[in-house]
């Protein structure tokens, strides 16, 4: 858990990274709720995530000139301007591995970067998104957008490898204010960026891609947006999401089938919910599902305000936030069925059954399994009957397609003999895709 504190006790454990009071804290508990360690750190922390090896990454905002980039060879060792975003890696024991500032020359004297979200991929890379007022120090050569769009801030997305070496970085924005609130990765190494843009700022700068779900700005003060980039930072598709009033994309998450979900807030009466959705009349929050190609699968309103979403291995999707609603939130027999703070805000947690965004439906979207894994020369694919005749694709750790073929039967053998030893991603499916990690020995 990450947060902010002004407390001088009860935060850090003996021998922690920082034991004297500072702006932020990071604490680790085991599955039984027993604290393992806790530490202060410089800066205001906004998000944390983990990787498959148990390392922890934190992002946020800092105006501290020391205590961030203390590791030799960090990407950026000196703070730029009045404040920068930061990214710090701790191992599972709470020992700092590396840290870096992230910022550049600001277009305003008071401007500063903010790191708002982070995510890791299966290969140990880490991504950070946020907002920036800087005209330099953000984008890399050949990135999707190398020039600052304008106004008070642009969204940004940056990728680092597990050692803290920047791989690529890009602006995302036009002539008005644009903010990247959230990022998520999928099993194929793609990364998604969700946020909001004001007053049609992308109309002239190409936010949406040809054939996207919503290519025109919906209206009002802002629209949400969702963008998909591949492993190398090349944009795959992008869409607005909003109606005639204010809409914001706060959070995004992916599932094992390659779908991507975005949650946010809306005041729009149209352009949000799909026919047959859980809730089709306006309320404060929304949740929408797109497949990996950017085609909307479903969308629903939900009573609540600023929120985040996540998924589980079974294809369910969860959304949490806060609400002032006295109805339409809790289900029969729920932990708390009544708003405990009538007229004010309660937190809420809701579980949907995946793609349809229905609360009471059960969906089994397991399409295939692979064995043996690890494998030396051959893997066997046991597939659902509806996959017969579809194409499978194998990607290396750079996102390059190294092998493809057709699933010809419910049990199909795939030759791996010409592939080098390493980790690959095996993906199959059409409208709904599923991806597994395959290890070649």
Q: Name the domain boundary from 327, 356, 385.
A: 356
Say how far residue 75 (Cα) sits from the centre of its chain: 22
Residues 115, 39 share a domain: yes
Tokens 């969860």, residue located = 318
Report if residue 362 sits inside a domain: no
Cα separation, 393 vs 404, in Å, equals 4
> What pLDDT sits at residue 10?
94
Whether 206 has a pLDDT exceeding 80, the answer reads no
Report if residue 361 sits inside a domain: no
Cα separation, 238 vs 225, in Å, equals 7
> What pLDDT sits at residue 7?
94
Whether 129 has a pLDDT exceeding 50, the answer reads yes
Residues 377, 345 share a domain: no
Write out the DSSP string of 388-421.
Answer: TT-EEEEE-TTS-EEEEEE--SSEEEEE-TTSPS
Cα separation, 74 vs 17, in Å, equals 18
Q: Name the domain boundary from 310, 336, 356.
A: 356
Lowest mean pLDDT, pick from 66-70, 277-281, 325-329: 325-329
| Mean pLDDT calculated for residue range 28-43 | 95
| Mean pLDDT calculated for residue range 42-50 | 94
Whether 122 has a pLDDT exceeding 80, the answer reads yes
Residues 98, 221 share a domain: yes
Residue 32: helix, strand or coil by DSSP? Answer: coil
Report if residue 262 sits inside a domain: yes
> What pLDDT sits at residue 385?
86
> What pLDDT sits at residue 73?
84
Report if residue 192 sits inside a domain: yes
Residues 335, 279 share a domain: yes
> What pLDDT sits at residue 440?
86
Structural domain that includes position 432:
368-440
Q: Name the domain boundary from 304, 330, 356.
A: 356
Structurally, the chain folds into a number of domains equal to 2
Lowest mean pLDDT, pick from 75-79, 152-156, 303-307, 401-405: 303-307
Whether 186 has a pLDDT exceeding 50, the answer reads yes
**pTM for the structure as a whole:** 0.80
- What's the CATH code of the domain at 425? 2.60.40
> What pLDDT sits at residue 431?
56
| Mean pLDDT calculated for residue range 95-107 | 89
Rg of the chain in Å (alpha carbons): 22
pLDDT, averaged across the chain: 89
Phi, psi values for residue 148, rounded to 5°: -60, 135
């Amino acid at each position: 858990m990450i947060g902010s504190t002004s407390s001088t006790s009860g935060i850090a454990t003996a021998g922690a990274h920082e034991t004297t009071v500072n702006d932020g804290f990071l604490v680790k508990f085991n599955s039984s709720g027993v604290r393992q360690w806790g530490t202060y750190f410089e800066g205001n922390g906004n998000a944390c995530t983990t990787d498959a090896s148990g390392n922890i990454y934190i992002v946020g905002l800092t105006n501290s000139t020391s205590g961030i980039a203390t590791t030799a060879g960090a990407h950026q060792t000196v703070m730029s301007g009045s404040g920068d975003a930061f990214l710090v890696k701790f191992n599972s024991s709470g020992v700092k591995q590396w840290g870096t500032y992230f910022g550049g020359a600001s277009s305003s004297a008071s401007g500063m970067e903010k790191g708002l979200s982070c995510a890791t991929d299966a290969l140990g890379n880490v991504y950070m998104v946020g907002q920036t007022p800087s005209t330099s120090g953000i984008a890399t050569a050949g990135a999707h957008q190398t020039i600052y769009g304008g106004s008070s801030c642009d969204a940004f997305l940056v990728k680092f490898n597990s050692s803290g070496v920047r791989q690529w970085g890009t602006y995302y924005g036009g002539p008005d204010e644009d903010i990247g609130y959230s990022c998520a990765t999928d099993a194929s190494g793609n990364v998604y960026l969700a946020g909001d843009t004001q007053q049609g700022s992308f109309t002239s700068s190409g936010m949406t891609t040809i054939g996207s779900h919503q290519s025109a700005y919906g209206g009002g003060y802002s629209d949400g947006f969702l963008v998909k980039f591949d492993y190398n930072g090349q944009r795959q598709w992008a869409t607005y999401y909003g109606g005639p009033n204010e809409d914001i994309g706060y959070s995004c998450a992916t599932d094992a089938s390659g779908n991507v979900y975005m949650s946010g807030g809306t005041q729009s009466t149209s352009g949000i919910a799909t026919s047959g959705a859980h809730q089709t009349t306006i309320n404060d929050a929304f949740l929408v599902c797109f497949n990996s190609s950017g085609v909307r699968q479903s969308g629903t309103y939900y009573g609540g305000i600023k929120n985040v979403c996540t998924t589980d291995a079974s294809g369910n999707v969860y959304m949490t936030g806060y609400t002032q609603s006295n109805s339409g939130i809790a289900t029969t027999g729920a932990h708390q069925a009544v708003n405990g703070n009538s007229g004010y805000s309660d937190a809420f947690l809701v579980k949907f059954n995946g793609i349809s965004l229905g609360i009471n439906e059960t969906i089994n979207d397991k399409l295939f399994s692979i064995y043996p894994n690890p494998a030396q020369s051959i893997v066997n694919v046991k597939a659902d009957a509806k996959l017969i005749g579809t194409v499978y694709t194998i990607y290396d750790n750079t996102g390059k397609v190294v092998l493809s073929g057709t699933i010809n039967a419910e049990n199909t053998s795939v030759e791996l003999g010409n592939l080098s030893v390493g980790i690959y991603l095996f993906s199959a499916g059409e409208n709904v895709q599923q991806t597994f990690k395959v290890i070649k020995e």
